[in-house]
Amino acid sequence: MKRNPAIPYIFIMLLGIVLVFFLSVKGLGDAKEIAKDNKKGDAKTEAPAGQTGGKFDPESFAKTTCISCHGNNLEGNVGPNLHGIGKKISKDEIKNVLKNGKNGGMPAGLVPAENIDAMADWLSKLK
């Protein structure tokens, strides 16, 4: 007597459906537990990029935001090398680029407006 070749596939399909159902129910239970924890106020909020202790930190902002274009050490990748940029252009020009972006590369508004002065100052002193 020959076995039907579709039986293993049907068994695996049924096992998958049962597993998906079980994990869905488990996830709903976990979601309710997480919601209870958040109501208690135990949830920790993560500080925005560049914020340490409630104060803007240009170096940590650069490490989280700028490295994608300027490289890990801001030595240049897709974007230019930022070391010594204060010797090439003025602090006001750096502020302008941070605020308005630059054609073909630097996007506008990447640095929050209230932190542009601190970021420009840090970049102009970067050696």
Give me the percent of the chain exceeding a pLDDT of 70: 87
13 labelled binding-site residue: no
Claim: this prediction has a pTM higher than 0.85: no
83 labelled binding-site residue: no
What pLDDT, on a 0 to 100 scale, did the predictor assign at position 102? Answer: 81
Q: Where are the domains of the chain?
A: 1-35, 54-125
The CATH class that applies to domain 54-125 reads mainly alpha
Q: ∠49-112-93 over CA atoms, to 5°? A: 120
pLDDT in tens, 25-82: 888 878 877 877 776 654 455 555 656 556 888 888 888 888 888 888 888 878 888 8
Positive or negative: CA dihedral 60, 94, 125, 54: negative
69 labelled binding-site residue: yes
1 labelled binding-site residue: no
Mean pLDDT of 77-104: 84
